[in-house]
Amino acid sequence: MKRVFSSFDRMTVFHARNLLRAEGIRVTVRNEFLSSAMGELPPAECQAEVWVLDETDAAHAERVLREGSAPTDGAPWTCACGETLERQFLQCWRCGSSQGSSS
């Protein structure tokens, strides 16, 4: 296992976790509730952390967190059902198909 992200903000940590899971990277969150111990423990030890379970995924995970996973520029795409969606949307709102399964 390897730590790839940490923050005092739990929402940011869980957003990072969700981005990585969406990419198929297995992760776990550690120290989720440790911020309540700050003062008794050093602040740097109390951050919530995202760890990848397989260290070979660490470089990919760090790249996803640095660059984001959803493309935000480029041409719109057309789903197999005929719906045209902007590039940042990875799933069709009409039929639920993902961008990779569209025409």
Any idea where the domains of the chain sit in the sequence? 2-67, 70-103
Specify the pLDDT at position 37. 78
pTM for this prediction? 0.64
Q: What is the pLDDT of residues 36-81, one digit of tens each?
A: 777 788 888 889 999 999 999 999 999 999 987 555 567 888 999 9
Does the domain at 2-67 match CATH 3.30.70? Answer given as yes
* Higher per-residue confidence, 102 vs 77: 77
Specify the pLDDT at position 75. 85
Q: What is the pLDDT of residues 20-44, one digit of tens each?
A: 998 899 999 999 888 777 778 888 8
Query: What are the contacts of 62-67 at 24+ separation with CB within 8 A?
Result: 62/4, 64/19, 64/20, 64/23, 64/25, 65/4, 65/5, 65/16, 65/19, 65/20
